[in-house]
Structure 1
Amino acid sequence: MARHTHDGIDWPSRLIAMRRADELHADALRVVARRLVRALPDNPTVIDVGSGAGGMSVALTEALCARGGGTIVLVDAVPELLDAATTAARAAASYESDSKTTTVRVRPVLADIATEKPTEFAAAAHLVWASNVLHHLPDQRQGALNLISALAAGGWFALAEGGLETRCLPWDLGVGDPGLQDRLAAARDQWFTRMRDQIPNAVRLTTGWNVVLTEAGLHDVGAFSYLVDHPAPTKPIVRDSIEDWLRWRNDVTGDLLHPADRTALRTLLDPSDPNYVGLREDVFFLQTNTVHTGQKP
């Protein structure tokens, strides 16, 4: 089993930040999970690919519990992340309602889906969920095809990739030049291209996901987007997550920013500075994520 990723990112070091981000997304993910699980047969099998810190794992487990139970297979290539997701999902896997216990089986699988086919450990799934994982694989299209192959007839593929860039900063922070948020977004695009270029044997994906899913033979191909919205003034957990987000951007795009913007970022991330992001009442969190769906005939 694989114990690495192809992108060179130190994912275990990001676990705390990922858990905080999951808290920000929790309500929205519950809505998405209920929507996806609603059409599944009784006692379904669901695969959560790239389960990360377990945010969607918990939402899917709760949705399965609410409809009578099932099995959820958690797949990740990073042991620390898989352990975190498994612990979180198992904590949500059973509850008592009207004196009736409803249970969901949680099965963790340590695997690299770029080299190990899901049919080898979780065939005949009724739903495969993959969120922001395929763009970390050398061949994104082939990764999607491998996941689709694990679906049972009539099963659904739900791929969360893309959306609108996260917004969290006012236009003029009073620190550095106005428009820092937009320049961070531009630097992120450069970093993403560099990240993809540095993945060994990377293959470009030159079409949209709806085309990929249609060419894979799925029916009823479509998409929907969901909003994560925490307006200012925010709770401390939101500001902490925004700080995580800015530190991550500083780490991966710092060399792509103008020196003045790097200075502004250091100021925002300095707890001893009055402009520290953790003390600001004007930061917010706004993100839109897109889910591409299709059904196997």
Structure 2
Amino acid sequence: MTEARIDWAAHAPRLVDAATADRAWYHAVARELVAPGDRLAVDIGCGGAGMALALARHMTCGRILAVDAEPAIVEAARARIRTEWADPRIRIDVELVDIADTGSLRRTVCGHADLVWASAMVHHLGDQQRAVDALAALLARGGRLALAEGGLPARHLPWDLGVGDPGLELRLHTAEDRWFARIRAALPGSRPMPYGWDEALRRAGLDPATTVTTLSELPPPLPPPQQRAVVNRLANRIGRLRDTGLLTPADLHTWDRLLDPSDLVWLGNRRDVFLLEARSVHVGRRG
């Protein structure tokens, strides 16, 4: 998998932390995706192995194949699975695969999958429809392809923080949208996909295609671990945009104050930080 300006090796520890924090969401989604009789499930772009472990816990026997294109992520996923998984009825394998190489991916799967899961992965590939087509080709008859893409961006902060101009977080979302457009344009073989994910599944021959969106909400005040996670998440997002020119100097100065533990306005001290996020999963079935 090729991506501009993202160092995935550096993100490996954060992906494991995120997968651990999202454990409940993974289990809720896996519970709905796994069907009786499933024997082979594939997690494409496995990150911190959150879904691989969740699928294993909902299958009665068989194999989970988790693949990723980044060696550091593969090693982090293997380490987590060694720590958390011991049930001999279900084998979890983690393999290093160039996900953009459809032939390599097909050879690694080496069979027809009952379920293929890809979370926030397809949008990192230049030709998204071609990627969906390739993932659909891994399915056995009756198999399902589930794409976790889209939804609504997470909200964490009040509109007026009493520091900087109101609407700070809304401007962050706008900057991230413009940054993502740059990333997409720079990808090798980048092609537009001017339609939704459900239509992409149908064009790949998977019909019916459905979408389920889950709302995640933690009202304020957040427990300390969740508060730290939100602050760290915001710090990572600002770090990614810092040198892009997409945030104004005034907004960057405000974010620096909000993310500085020595500043009186540090977000870690606020009691009005919250979590509100909507995540969509699109599922298509091979007839």
Matched, 1:244 2:232: yes
The structure 2 residue matched to 1:119, chosen from 101, 106, 110, is 106
Pick from 107, 110, 125: which aligns with 2:96?
Answer: 110
Cα separation, partners in 2 of 1:243 and 1:15, compared to 1, 3 Å: farther
TM-score (norm 1): 0.90
1:19 CA displacement = 2.8
Structure 1 residues 226-245: aligned runs within 5 Å: 226-245=214-233
**Which one of 234, 255, 262 corresponds to residue 265 of structure 1?**
255
Residues 232, 259 of structure 1: alpha-carbon distance in 2 compared, 3 angstrom cutoff: same
1:58/1:88 contact within 8 Å kept: no
SS in 1 for 2:22: helix
Partners of 2:17 and 2:48 within 8 A in 1? no
Residue 246 of structure 1, CA deviation:
1.4
Give the deviation of 1:238 after TM superposition. Answer: 1.4
Give the direction of change, closer, same or farther, for the CA distance of 1:233–1:19 in structure 2 (3 Å limit).
farther
Sort the Cα spacing of 1:17 and 1:230 in 2 relative to 1 into closer, same or farther, 3 A.
Answer: farther
Q: Does 1:61 align with 2:56?
A: yes
Confirm or deny: 8 A CA contact 1:20 1:241 kept in the other structure.
no
* 1: CA distance, partners of 2:281 / 2:20: 19
Determine the structure 2 residue equivalent to 1:99. none
Amino acid at match of 1:105: R
C-alpha separation between the residues in 1 aligned to 2:53 and 2:252?
A: 37
Indicate which of 34, 37, 40 corresponds to 1:41. Answer: 37
Q: Which amino acid aligns with 2:142?
A: G
Corresponding residue for 1:22? 19
Unaligned runs of 5+ residues in structure 2 are none
What is the one-letter code of the residue matched to 2:211?
A
Tell me: CA distance 1:279–1:58, structure 2 relative to 1, closer, same or farther (3 Å). farther
Identity %: 39
Deviations 1:233-279 (A, max 9, x none): 11222122212221222123232111111011000111111211222
Give the aligned partner of residue 7 of structure 1. Answer: 4
List per-residue Cα deviations over 1:41-82 (Å, max 9, x = no partner).
15x100000111122222122222xxx222100110011111
CA separation of 1:107/1:49 partners in 2, compared to 1, >3 Å: closer, same or farther?
same
TM-score under structure 2 length normalisation: 0.93
Kindly provide the amino acid, as one letter, of the partner of residue 159 in structure 2: W
Unaligned runs of 5+ in 1: 96-101
- Mapped partners of 1:184, 1:129: distance in 2: 29
Matches within 5 A, 1:115-194: 115-117=101-103, 118-122=105-109, 123-194=111-182
SS at match of 1:94: coil
Q: How does 1:208-219 map to 2 (within 5 A)?
A: 208-219=196-207
Change (3 A) 1:235 1:173: same
CA change 1:278–1:15 in 2 (3 A) is farther
Q: Which amino acid aligns with 1:294?
A: G
User: Hey, what's the Cα distance between the residues in 1 that align with 2:17 and 2:93?
Assistant: 24
RMSD: 1.6
C-alpha separation between the residues in 2 aligned to 1:90 and 1:124?
A: 26
Alignment: residue pair count: 283
Contact 1:33 1:63 in 2 (8 A): yes
Aligned residue for 1:60, secondary structure, equals helix
